[in-house]
Structure 1
Amino acid sequence: MISGIISGIVAGYIASRLQKGEGSGCLVNLFLGLLGGVVGSLVFGLFGLTAYSWIGEMITAIIGAVIVLWLFAKLR
């Protein structure tokens, strides 16, 4: 559980840096990383892809978080 929280924070931070250029705070990054993991898993599942390692899960969460940030920016 602790590793999942840390992974979520890292994934959210990386995604927010890629999308906006700066971090958004620890709690926002955590939420973004966790939501990104869900969205990324759904998107990758549509293509028949799954992540088996921590690196794969991190990449999935980062891509999902970037998608979430992009959608949020478009809806704003």
Structure 2
Amino acid sequence: MGLLYALLIGAAAGWLAGKIMKGGGFGTLLNIILGIVGGLVGNWLFGILGVHIADGVVGDLITGVIGAIVILFVAGLFKK
């Protein structure tokens, strides 16, 4: 069940990050995939920084969106 939860939160985070980045995205499907990876990056990044956003679905979604934005930004640098 944890894997399904992570995939759903990552997919939502990728979609939201694509909307926030406006033009920096790679299409809905790739944004969702990058959102799943972004959730991992967000958890890793916040763990290193010692930052705790919130508990539950909202905290996981915020962490995933921030991680996905970082991934989309970095991927956008290589896109050009």
**TM-score bucket (shorter structure):** 0.7 to 0.9
SS in 2 for 1:49: coil
- Greater Cα offset, 3-12 or 58-67: 3-12
Opposite residue 75 of structure 1, the aligned amino acid is F
1:41 pairs with one of 40, 43, 57:
43
RMSD (CA atoms) = 2.1
Q: Percent identical across equivalent pairs?
A: 35
Number of corresponding residues:
75
TM-score for the superposition, normalised by structure 2? 0.76
TM-score for the superposition, normalised by structure 1? 0.79
Unaligned runs of 5+ in 1: none
Stretches (4+) displaced over 3 A = none
